[in-house]
Amino acid sequence: MTDPSPALPKPRTGQDDGAGVAGGRAAARARFRERMAQWMFIAPAAAYLLLFFGYPIF
C-alpha cells in the first residue's frame, strides 16, 4: 500500500548544499527580486493608507 501523503520538502538547515558561491549569489538575487516584488504589491496600499488616513491627522 502506498502512502497517500505528498512528499515533504527537505528542511533547510542553513548549510551549504554544494551549490558554491555562484549558486549562492544567484539564490540571493532571486530572493532579493522576490522581496522587491512583494514590496511593490504592498507599496500602493501603504501609500493609500498614509495619504488618506494619515493626512487628516496632520
Q: What pLDDT band is residue 41 in, cutting at 50, 70 and 90?
A: very high
DSSP labels, 3-55: --SPPPPPPP-SS--S-HHHHHHHHHHHHHHHHHHHHHHHHHHHHHHIIIIIG
Question: 19 and 27 in contact (C-beta within 8 Å)?
Answer: yes
* Confidence at residue 15, expressed as pLDDT on a 0 to 100 scale: 58
pTM above 0.85, yes or no: no
57 has pLDDT over 70: yes
At 15-25, the pLDDT tens digits run 555 555 667 89
Q: Which residue bears the cell 520538502?
A: 9
* Confidence at residue 24, expressed as pLDDT on a 0 to 100 scale: 87
| Share of the chain residues as helix, strand and coil, in percent rounded to the nearest 5 | 65, 0, 35
